[in-house]
Chain A
Amino acid sequence: MDIKDIIKEENLVYKRTNVLTENIMHYCPGCGHGTVHRIIAEVIEEMGIQEETIGVAPVGCAVLAYNYFNVDMQQAAHGRAPAVATGIKRVFPEKFVFSYQGDGDLAAIGTAETIHACNRGENITMIFINNGIYGMTGGQMAPTTLEGMKSSTSPYGRDVEMMGYPLKMTELIANLPGTYYVTRQSVHTPGNVRKTKKAIRMAFENQKLKKGVSFVEVVSNCNSGWKMNPVQANKWMVDNMFPFYPLGDIKVPQDK
């Protein structure tokens, strides 16, 4: 059997989606961003909405997401992606609009924009990557950094007396009437990737219903920021992040 026999159509088990560009991603090996990018791109491809989708990239590690998604993309100021996405969706109510943000962006500097976009019930998909740290700027404490967790600005561990508590933004926005579907997922195992894909698919499908924000948190790792190798980081995430940020749906549409 030579190579020509192997690369036949019927033997194909995986294909890169053309909703991702051919640019090489700059993410660290083991980082969850690449996986979440791929899932979003596959959902867009499967739904056939590449020409009707506009995405908003954040400030943070995913700032260059616009180079990877092969859809029209805007890059927003730090924390402002929900406002930018609001502007897009309001002038293009029939298009699919998603924002993609990390924890510092969505849950610290952009808290007001996050809460108010959710509270207005913007018909958008919000993707929230929570790795408990500022990755891009070099591992500083984030609003989601766990109690006792070390970072470059909490080198002796997060002292909640001094630095306040980790913020469960997803539970918070689930309380708002403007959110329609709120879930927390992860991408550290193939099974979880499948669940996350199902959630993101639903979050995009929901835009057609015009019933408010669909919000998908993905608890992820930051092996370089956490100073671990990818395997250790995933294990640490399972042991420490998941107990505080438990996976699963937080708000499911009542009419489904």
Chain B
Amino acid sequence: MERELKLMKGNEAIAEAAIRAGADSYFGYPITPQSEIMEYLMAQKPHERTGMVVLQAESETASINMVYGAAACGKKSMTSSSSPGVSLMQEGLSYIAGAELPCLVVNVQRGGPGLGTIQPSQADYFQTVKGGGHGDYKLITLAPSSVQEMADFVKIAFDLAFKYRNPAMILSDGAIGQMMEKVYLDPQVPRMKEEELPSWGTQGKKKGQDHKIITSLELESEKQEKVNLRIQAKYRQLEEEEVRFEAISCDDAEYIFVAYGTSARICQKAVDMARERGYKVGLFRPITLYPYPFKQLNKLADQVKGMLSVEMSAGQMVEDVRLAVNGKVKVEHFGRLGGIIHSPDEVFNALLNKIIGG
């Protein structure tokens, strides 16, 4: 079926894609720079379009727990927020991961720490892929770098979340949330009928079957260890099968940028600037931040002379780039802070100063 072309903000694209992906419920709380997601949903009356429920909660704490309740029924459930709000959701995310429930959480990042700024940032990398909440769990993390990917990743995130019964996150930022680009939208997918809902969900005890229990509690340590090992086995499978990335102009590259999201777009321009000046530069863009493309980066390290990790942070993802490269070549970080988006010039100069010349 033909995809519909629209000009949309990233935030609107997420919302429209969620309706079209057959999402059952959205629970959220307003916060800049992502409030358009719930505003768009409310304006669209998705209850009339598909039967999707949209509810404004009293806090991010409540919204993530509403997601828990709906997700535990086997329904496609989601929420969205920006950095401070996602901090509030960490408790709920840990419970959702512990209870092995699928859901989608969108983080349209802004600068921190604290109330920080409402301008774009990528400083929630650690929170997203290194934990955030308590306990051994991971969030399947997709990092869109265009409005098109904001839309496309909704379906992919839901699919992965249900396949692995684990929360998935779209880690975006204020720039991609607020910018408008062309987006081709998939046709409407119907919501799951009651008989299509996954059988592990609480949908009312069926005759002749045991009652379903959704919990993250197991007081006996031996059993809790087994739960943990089962969850870890899922993560090993994810790491084997679900890594996504894009390599741009990397084939003959001597130096590469490593960047995701908005920074990847900026680095793409910096690659063009570098090539015009005769430098063989490429861009490696992790699309899944968890699972991270460690192997692919390690392989690239055999070919290039240095890598610059570019992120609107004080240097978070660079730790994973260094882990991947394992000392084979020089790896440095560059990034502006406080909500400033680095320019292509700045990024190119950083490559010259820190990697090529350094």
Contacts and interface: CB of A to CB of B under 8 A. Distances in A.
The answer to whether A and B touch directly, with their CB atoms under 8 angstroms apart, is yes
A84 interface: yes
Interface string A43-62: 00000001111101100000
B172 interface: no
B212 A77 contact: no
A112 B212 CA distance: 28
A51 B207 CA distance: 7
Given A54-B73, A92-B73, A112-B59, A73 B68 contact: no
B215 A74 contact: yes
A114 B90 CA distance: 20
A75 interface: yes
A69 interface: yes
Contacts of A115: 58
Contacts of B69: 56, 74, 76, 83-88, 91
Contact of A71 (B75, B99, B211): B211
B211 A69 contact: yes
Given A73-B211, A88-B70, A113 B206 contact: no
A63 interface: yes
Contact of A74 (B27, B206, B214): B214
B211 A72 contact: yes
B357 interface: no
A86 B92 contact: no
Contact of B65 (A52, A90, A92, A113): A113
B50 interface: no
B66 A74 contact: no
B182 to A, nearest CB: 33
A138 to B, nearest CB: 16
Interface string A85-127: 1111011100100000000000000001101100000000000
A142 B267 CA distance: 55
Contacts of A91: 24-25, 53, 69-70, 73, 75, 77
Nearest to B214: A74
A66 B72 CA distance: 14
10 nearest A-B residue pairs (beta carbon)? A87-B69, A72-B202, A83-B65, A87-B66, A75-B215, A84-B69, A116-B58, A80-B65, A87-B70, A83-B62
12 contacts: A21-B211, A51-B207, A54-B203, A56-B69, A77-B91, A87-B25, A87-B66, A87-B68, A87-B69, A90-B70, A91-B24, A91-B53
